[in-house]
Amino acid sequence: MKPPLSELPIKTADTGFYGGFSVSVTVISKIIISVLVVWAIVWPEWAGKVLGAWNTTILANFAAWYIWVVAFFIIVCLGLALWPTGGKLKLGRDSEEPEFSNFSWFSMMFGAGIGVGMLTWAVAEPIAHFKNNPSVIQGATTALNADNVREAYVWSFLHWGLGAWACYAVAGLSLAFFSYRRGLPLTIRSSLTPLFGKALSGNLGHFIDIVAVVATILGVAQTLGFGVEQFVAGLTRIGIGGLALEDGSATTLGIIVALLVIMGASTLSALSGVGKGIKWLSNINMVLSIVLLGFFIIFGATFFGATAFFVGIFDYLVALPGLSFNVFVSDGVEGSEAFKLAQWQGWWPVFYWAWWIAFAPFVGLFLARISKGRTIREFVLGAMIVPSLMCFVWFAWAGGTAVDLELSGGAGGVILDAANGDKIFAMTEFMLAPIAQWLAWAMALLIVVLLMTFLVTSADSAVLIVNTINAAGDEGPKARPHILFWGAALALVVGGLLISGGTGAIQTAMVIGALPFSIVMVLMCVSLIKAIYNDGRREKVGVQSVTAGADAMPSGIPAE
């Protein structure tokens, strides 16, 4: 057997504004995103109508694809961890040790992954499923009743559990493997070299990286869209008026103020790099998360949350095989049970799987960047199980407190009737205001600060990752002007889509953008399995498989 491919030259500009960048990838990506921004801002009604039509088509024709492809990713990840040949391989040289401590590794992974989602959905989603889910639609359980609590948690854990993190692990593992064991550039195309070889140096590789950049911007825009609305709700709660309407939705002024604050801070953090700004912000928001979560565990529904956590995990694992492959098919009759089930699946599982897939190039490349020196087994189990459990803890105690307050009748609909982004603020105010109004205000301030650190971490990580892809794996200082561009572009995408159609417009654009990248991710799985299998054969006959030598580092990644 021959040694594996260890060189993938990607043409980059030598000088000028695009010096060090792949002009084809960078310019085309910027054009696509710029057209989307102009379209959403200048013709908002037209954009909303077209995006809605596309979304309907995708949900009608590709719902099964999204459901089954995520099930495939879970199987691949668990299979690689259990595979004796693959699980023991290091993401780097055999002597390499991890760059970051476990605490920093988990903090950055959780913060950049879906940490910000916890502040919206840990309370909002269990309440939403407590009100409606497939069991309610089929008449097996009753909305807002005790018999529906377990079903609410099965669906909440499904959406934020192993499936979400399998998407990230597939992308991260593929990138880390080919970058740190092969010495290939830390960019999406490198993960497909066992399938397409040196052809990835040309237009095929450019196309794959462009798809990844567009998916990343749209996936992060979805997260920031939810975050901006919640950030505005928080600012309103702490006494800053004029940023939200009576129904809790953000005004145009509120959107602009929130984006200026968040994207300004994230751009400054991105300029400082992964080892400084992002690492410190991740550690800060992990500490604040523990403080907030501790409040819910100690002063919230302590026993109810513990029951939801342990029983919820059991129910989730039992239901996982069936739910991973189940697809509800509409009969086309509006109002029928089949129609409602298919519609619900489009609103929840399909939306989430598209979100995680769109988020995967960003989180995956970021995970690869911080996971050098870890084994494949350590990476897969660390990137799937630990963050999933953290999500379950949040849903059990934060969401469990909300469900318990509504179930007992104490909240009287205060939490249930609040906007999704405002639910956590409504709940903490309901709990603390009777004791002392300043306590409720202080807790709202803590949540706003925590939300901002999560949003900044997600946004600045995304900007760095997009630049790394555009620069053929290089994240050196010459990327600084482009960091500023992508920071502004991300803010405009979020602002433009929010103004043209709210978070629904961002959701639709993201579901569309995720579709082509889902195909790339399937190819990444096949490519990785092929590479590990061939490395095992090479080891048996004494052929070198780790082709990144002692001094050979992927482009743009400094040696420790």
Least confident of 121-125, 228-232, 439-443: 228-232
**Residue 23 is inside which H or E element, if any?**
helix 23-42
DSSP assignment, residue 277? Answer: I
Distances (CA, A) of 431 to 145, 426, 447: 22, 9, 15
d(CA 71, CA 487) in angstroms, rounded, equals 33
DSSP assignment, residue 347? Answer: I
Can you read off the two tokens belonging to residue 464? Answer: 């760095």
Nearest CA-CA partner of 359 in 493, 461, 231, 486? 461
Q: Annotate 526-539 with b (16+ C-beta within 10 A) or e (fewer).
A: ebbbebbebbeebe
Decide if 195 contacts 523 (C-beta within 8 A): yes
The helices-and-strands tally (H runs, E runs) of the chain is 20, 0
Task: Indicate the pLDDT class of residue 315, thresholds 50, 70 and 90.
Answer: very high
Q: Helix, strand, or coil here: 244?
A: strand
Decide if 530 contacts 195 (C-beta within 8 A): yes
Task: Find which of 102-106, 160-164, 479-483 is predicted with most confidence, using mean pLDDT.
Answer: 160-164
- Whether 188 shows a pLDDT value over 90: the answer reads yes
pLDDT digits (tens, 9 = 90+) for 531-544: 999 888 888 888 88
For 290, other C-beta atoms within 10 Å of its C-beta total 11
DSSP H helical ranges for 83-183: 84-87, 102-110, 116-131, 134-137, 149-160, 162-180
pLDDT at 161: 93
pLDDT digits (tens, 9 = 90+) for 474-507: 866 456 788 888 888 888 888 887 776 666 777 7
Can you read off the two tokens belonging to residue 144? Answer: 């807002």
- Whether 558 shows a pLDDT value over 60: the answer reads no
List of domains in the chain: 25-540 (1.20.1740.10)
pLDDT digits (tens, 9 = 90+) for 412-459: 899 999 988 899 999 999 999 999 999 999 999 999 988 888 788 777
Q: What is the mean pLDDT of the chain?
A: 86
User: By CB neighbour count within 10 A (0-12 exposed, 13-18 middle, 19+ buried), where does 144 fall?
Assistant: middle
Can you read off the two tokens belonging to residue 508? Answer: 């639709």
Task: Indicate the pLDDT class of residue 215, thresholds 50, 70 and 90.
Answer: confident
Decide if 201 contacts 181 (C-beta within 8 A): no
Share of the chain above pLDDT 70, in %: 92
pLDDT at 273: 57
pLDDT digits (tens, 9 = 90+) for 192-212: 999 999 999 999 999 999 999
Only one residue has tokens 């803590």, namely 446
Can you read off the two tokens belonging to residue 125? Answer: 């989603």
CB-facing half-sphere around the CA of 442: CA atoms within 13 A: 9
- Tell whether the torsion through CA atoms of 186, 187, 193 and 199 is positive or negative: negative
How many residues are there in the chain? Answer: 560
- Tell whether the torsion through CA atoms of 472, 474, 475 and 481 is positive or negative: negative
Whole-angstrom Cα Rg for the chain: 23
Decide if 458 contacts 220 (C-beta within 8 A): yes
d(CA 292, CA 422) in angstroms, rounded, equals 16
- Whether 404 shows a pLDDT value over 90: the answer reads yes
Residue 423 identity (one-letter amino acid) = K
Task: Indicate the pLDDT class of residue 279, thresholds 50, 70 and 90.
Answer: low
Task: Indicate the pLDDT class of residue 392, thresholds 50, 70 and 90.
Answer: very high
Mean of pLDDT values over 105-127: 79
DSSP assignment, residue 5? Answer: P
pLDDT at 554: 38
pLDDT at 559: 29
d(CA 214, CA 217) in angstroms, rounded, equals 5
Identify the residue with better confidence: 30 or 51.
30
pLDDT digits (tens, 9 = 90+) for 343-389: 899 889 998 998 899 888 888 888 888 888 899 999 998 889 888 99
pLDDT at 194: 94
Q: Which residues contact 45 (CB under 8 A, 6 or more apart)?
A: 500
pTM of this prediction?
0.89
Decide if 186 contacts 274 (C-beta within 8 A): no
Distances (CA, A) of 173 to 276, 434, 551: 24, 49, 22
Mean of pLDDT values over 95-100: 83
Decide if 554 contacts 186 (C-beta within 8 A): yes
Task: Indicate the pLDDT class of residue 282, thresholds 50, 70 and 90.
Answer: low
Mean of pLDDT values over 100-124: 77
